[in-house]
């Protein structure tokens, strides 16, 4: 166990160092917090456009939010029930001049200064789809076609890691479906197929497998087991720093009536709406492409270049 851990750690640190040396990732001194080079961003943008082209016929409604949620939406979302360990809240200084002096003195003396920071009404977005449910709920009952939304956001998760594929701030593109159980299941099935074909066009080795979220605590283990047994979450996995433990690059999630109940979203007949989402991890896909095709995008296989650059 210990030995294989070390090998994984070494592989992750090795890949990270190589990416930094090539200038693709710009280190900040904090694990999981990176700048990205122009080439890295170009790959992310081309991949983002590729997703759009595979989803275009569905006519999703585009919505873009800053990488933050309203605190009242975050509180109602029950994120803290399931993933308190990942959440990031935004705090700010709200003190008077005296408190300011104290803050500066503590900073100067290398003491803890953040305990004077107060919570704001802004919380970091943990997954791109989170702002969508209250927004759709606000509109009242769904029409016959339900809702289909295209979102793209930076997300924050407090999971610092040596693994360059596990960042604290990363981008997630998602399509989110809200409607009847049939509409939502059709959506997820269609994206399971499209997601695989889309990634196959990029020439990377992949597998699709059932998965679970890292629900917190003892009760969380039950939730995770239940999620797997019911096949509620699938991931498209690509080896990046390990063959045995490939990295989740896309996920296909069926929430049943979880968000529908939380936000009181209704179908035209008054039933509680079901929801599903497909999420693309933008940095992870870019890293998978660099891992399998090399750091020089001009030398990537013609078919891959054609898929991305047309
Ligand atoms: P993992 O099991 O690796 O933690 P996840 O199940 O938490 O992934 P989701 O919550 O389904 O991931 O998020 C959707 C997508 O966002 C993932 O498939 C992945 O591509 C990307 N993603 C998730 N967490 C991170 C992270 N820390 N850094 C970079 N990308 C991430
Ligand atoms: Zn989602
Ligand atoms: Mg995770």
State in Å: Cα 186 to ligand 1 middle: 23
What does pLDDT average to over the chain?
96
The reply to whether 76 falls in a domain is: no
Instruction: Note the pLDDT tens digit of each residue in 275-289.
Output: 999 999 999 999 999
Mean pLDDT, range 161-190, rounded to an integer? 98
Q: Is 62 helix (H, G, I), strand (E, B) or coil?
A: strand
Q: Does the CB atom of residue 166 touch ligand 1 within 6 A? A: yes
3-state secondary structure 130-195: CCHHHHHHHCCCCCCCCEEEEEEEEEECCCCCCCCCCCCEEEEEEEEEEECHHHHHHHHHHHHHHH
| 272 HSE (CA, 13 A, CB side) | 10
The reply to whether 100 falls in a domain is: no
State in Å: Cα 240 to ligand 3 middle: 16
3-state secondary structure 107-124: HHCCCCCHHHEEEEEEEE
Instruction: Note the pLDDT tens digit of each residue in 136-165.
Output: 999 999 999 999 999 999 999 999 999 999
State in Å: Cα 98 to ligand 1 middle: 43
Per-residue confidence (pLDDT) for residue 115, from 0 to 100: 86
State in Å: Cα 129 to ligand 2 middle: 4
Query: What are the DSSP E strand ranges found in 41-116?
Result: 61-62, 68-70, 89-93
The reply to whether 108 falls in a domain is: no
The reply to whether 198 falls in a domain is: yes
Rounded to 10 degrees, what is the CA torsion of 299, 302, 308, 310?
A: 130
The reply to whether 91 falls in a domain is: no
Per-residue confidence (pLDDT) for residue 5, from 0 to 100: 66
Q: Does the CB atom of residue 284 touch ligand 1 within 6 A? A: yes
Neighbour-count burial of 197, counting CB atoms closer than 10 A to its CB (0-12 exposed, 13-18 middle, 19+ buried)? exposed
Q: Does the CB atom of residue 170 touch ligand 1 within 6 A? A: yes
Q: In 10 A of CB 206, how many CB atoms? A: 17
Instruction: Note the pLDDT tens digit of each residue in 187-244.
Output: 999 999 999 999 999 999 999 999 999 899 998 999 999 999 999 999 999 999 999 9
Per-residue confidence (pLDDT) for residue 4, from 0 to 100: 56
Q: Is 281 helix (H, G, I), strand (E, B) or coil?
A: strand
Percent of the residues in the chain that have a pLDDT greater than 70, as a whole number: 98
Predicted structure pTM score: 0.96
Question: Residue 1 — very low, low, confident or very high, per pLDDT cuts 50/70/90?
Answer: very low
Q: How far apart are CA 26 and CA 99, in angstroms?
A: 35
Neighbour-count burial of 94, counting CB atoms closer than 10 A to its CB (0-12 exposed, 13-18 middle, 19+ buried)? exposed
Q: Does the CB atom of residue 283 touch ligand 1 within 6 A? A: yes
Q: How far apart are CA 210 and CA 202, in angstroms?
A: 22
Q: Shortest CA distance to 240 belongs to which of 140, 143, 161?
A: 161
The reply to whether 148 falls in a domain is: yes
Index of the ligand 1 atom closest to the CA of residue 279:
14
Which backbone phi and psi does 274 adopt, to 5 degrees? -100, 160
CB 12 within 8 A of CB 162: yes
CA distances from 97 to 25, 86, 100, 117, 136 (A): 40, 33, 5, 14, 43
Per-residue confidence (pLDDT) for residue 3, from 0 to 100: 52
Residues spanned by the domain of 283: 2-68+126-309
Neighbour-count burial of 230, counting CB atoms closer than 10 A to its CB (0-12 exposed, 13-18 middle, 19+ buried)? exposed
ipTM for this prediction:
0.99
Which residues pair with residue 207 across a beta bridge?
A: 237
Mean pLDDT, range 6-30, rounded to an integer? 95
Question: Residue 132 — very low, low, confident or very high, per pLDDT cuts 50/70/90?
Answer: very high
Q: How far apart are CA 182 and CA 43, in angstroms?
A: 35
Tally the domains of the chain.
Answer: 1
Q: How far apart are CA 121 and CA 256, in angstroms?
A: 29
Q: In 10 A of CB 63, how many CB atoms? A: 16
Index of the ligand 1 atom closest to the CA of residue 174:
14
Q: How far apart are CA 191 and CA 250, in angstroms?
A: 10
Question: Residue 6 — very low, low, confident or very high, per pLDDT cuts 50/70/90?
Answer: confident
Mean pLDDT, range 61-89, rounded to an integer? 97
The reply to whether 95 falls in a domain is: no
> What CATH number should be reported for the domain holding residue 233?
3.30.930.10
Per-residue confidence (pLDDT) for residue 7, from 0 to 100: 85
The reply to whether 206 falls in a domain is: yes
């Amino acid at each position: 166990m210990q030995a294989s851990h070390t090998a994984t750690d070494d592989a992750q640190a090795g890949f990270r160092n190589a990416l930094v040396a090539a200038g693709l990732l710009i280190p900040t001194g904090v694990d999981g917090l990176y700048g990205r080079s122009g080439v890295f961003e170009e790959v992310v943008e081309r991949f983002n456009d590729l997703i759009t082209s595979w989803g275009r016929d569905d006519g999703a409604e585009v919505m873009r939010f800053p990488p933050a949620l309203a605190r009242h939406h975050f509180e109602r979302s029950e994120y803290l029930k399931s993933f308190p360990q990942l959440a990031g809240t935004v705090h700010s200084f709200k003190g008077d001049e005296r408190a300011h002096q104290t803050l500066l003195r503590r900073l100067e003396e290398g003491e803890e200064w953040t305990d004077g920071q107060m919570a704001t009404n802004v919380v970091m977005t943990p997954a791109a789809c989170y702002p969508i449910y209250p927004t759709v709920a606000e509109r009242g009952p769904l029409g016959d076609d339900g809702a289909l939304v295209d979102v793209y956001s930076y997300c924050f998760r407090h999971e610092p890691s040596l693994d360059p594929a596990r960042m604290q701030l990363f981008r997630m593109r998602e399509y989110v479906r809200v409607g009847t159980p049939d509409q939502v299941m059709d959506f997820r099935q269609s994206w399971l197929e499209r997601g695989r074909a889309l990634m196959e066009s990029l020439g990377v080795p992949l597998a699709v497998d059932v998965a679970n979220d890292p629900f917190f605590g003892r009760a969380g283990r039950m939730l995770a087991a239940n999620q797997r047994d019911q096949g509620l979450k699938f991931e498209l996995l690509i080896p990046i720093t390990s063959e045995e433990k490939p990295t989740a690059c896309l996920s296909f999630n069926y929430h049943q009536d979880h968000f529908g109940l939380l936000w009181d979203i209704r179908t035209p007949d008054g039933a509680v709406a079901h929801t599903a989402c497909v999420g693309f991890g933008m940095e992870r896909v870019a890293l998978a492409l660099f891992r399998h095709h090399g750091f020089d995008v001009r030398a990537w296989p013609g078919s891959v270049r054609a898929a991305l650059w047309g």
